[in-house]
Amino acid sequence: MKQQKKRKLARNKKFQIKKRTKINKLLMIPKALLLVSLVLFILYIFESIKPEQKVKIEHGGISQVVEGLKQQGYSVNIIDKYILALLGSPRAGTILFEKDETLSRVVFLYKIANTKPTGIDNNITLIPGETLDIFFENIAKQMNLNKTILMEEYKKQSYYKEAGISPDTYFVNTNMNEKKLIEFLVKQSEEKYKQIATKYFNSYDKDKWQNVLIKASIIQKEAANKQEMPIISSVIDNRISKNMKLQMDGSLNYGIYSHVAVTPERIKNDTTTFNTYKNYGLPKSPICSVSQEAIEAAINPSKTDYLYFVKNKENIHTFTKDFRSHRDAIEKNK
């Protein structure tokens, strides 16, 4: 009987050990799932998001905010809804982000939940070929700012007399004063110039870059389209190499004369370096804002023998290699 009892106790003990082992294995499953879920959650919240410069936050609760983000193209779901609820309280309006800014999802959501939106924002646009004189006059009216102060701040903050602001559409807060606005515009432009200069020259030397901008600004004023830009760049180089004056009307469309027709009287009376009928070479500073296409054309001119061009009936230019052909083209396109 004692032996039977011992065997029974041993079997029970063995059974209990197997049972505990089985339970422990079963308990391991949710732990493993929890660990995997935690890793996936961490990867999710640190996923990169590249927001637009302005993000609109809808009126209503967090569900409306998340739905509004979806409609703007952001990949958000119910998880983001709970994260937003934990991080803060989103408010309706427009939140401004830096251009080309990349954030982790959690930082993006934190800014959505805690940044005070701008009640009103403005789009201001500088078109390629426009002068700062005209641009500042327009935005002074649009944003109720002082044009003279804008000009003064620009002179303090930019290395370039012209072309220090790159043509683009900028989203700006209407609460910005003249100093802050110029600071924002110049900073954005400097970053763009540095990127292009580094691509072509491996560095951003402002003296060297100014020469690029001067040439690009003439190209910008003279070209009828983007395709012509490298050809006009070659004409500039060809005339300079032959010690010929550029004699380009576009150089006289500087400052307040941005949209003023160039007349024989202007050519006769203008004594600035912008008058390429009187002076050899390029002007001493850029004459207008310049597009990336004009900059790249200035750096990489076409290989041509052209010395002249004239606008034809198709509203583009006819390029010629000698003065006689140029005169014929003028007569043909009268």
How does residue 44 score in pLDDT terms, banded at 50, 70 and 90? confident
Render pLDDT for 140-168 as a digit per residue (tens, 0 to 9). Answer: 998 889 999 999 999 999 999 999 999 99
Q: How far apart are CA 122 and CA 171, in angstroms?
A: 6
Closest-CA residue to 229 (of 241, 238, 216, 240): 216
Question: What are the start-end ranges of the H helices in the chain?
Answer: 2-45, 62-71, 78-87, 105-114, 132-143, 147-157, 178-201, 206-222, 229-241, 264-269, 292-299, 323-332
Q: How far apart are CA 308 and CA 305, in angstroms?
A: 9
Lookup result for tokens 């009126």: 59
Computed over every residue of the chain, the mean pLDDT equals 88
pLDDT the model gives residue 147:
95
Render pLDDT for 184-194 as a digit per residue (tens, 0 to 9). Answer: 999 999 999 99
Average of per-residue pLDDT across 42-71: 84
pLDDT the model gives residue 56:
83
- Which range, of 55-59, 63-67, 152-156, 265-269, averages the lowest pLDDT? 55-59
The yes-or-no verdict on residue 227 having pLDDT over 80 is yes
Rounded to a whole number, what is the distance in angstroms from the first to the last CA of the chain?
Answer: 129
Render pLDDT for 257-304 as a digit per residue (tens, 0 to 9). Answer: 999 999 999 999 999 999 999 999 999 999 999 999 999 999 999 999
The yes-or-no verdict on residue 173 having pLDDT over 90 is no
Q: Where are the domains of the chain?
A: 48-114, 120-303
Render pLDDT for 77-112 as a digit per residue (tens, 0 to 9). Answer: 988 888 888 888 887 778 888 888 899 999 998 988
Phi, psi for residue 294 in degrees, rounded to 5: -70, -40
Helix or strand or coil: residue 126?
strand
Q: What dihedral angle (degrees, nearest 10) is formed by the CA atoms of 310, 312, 315, 320?
A: -40
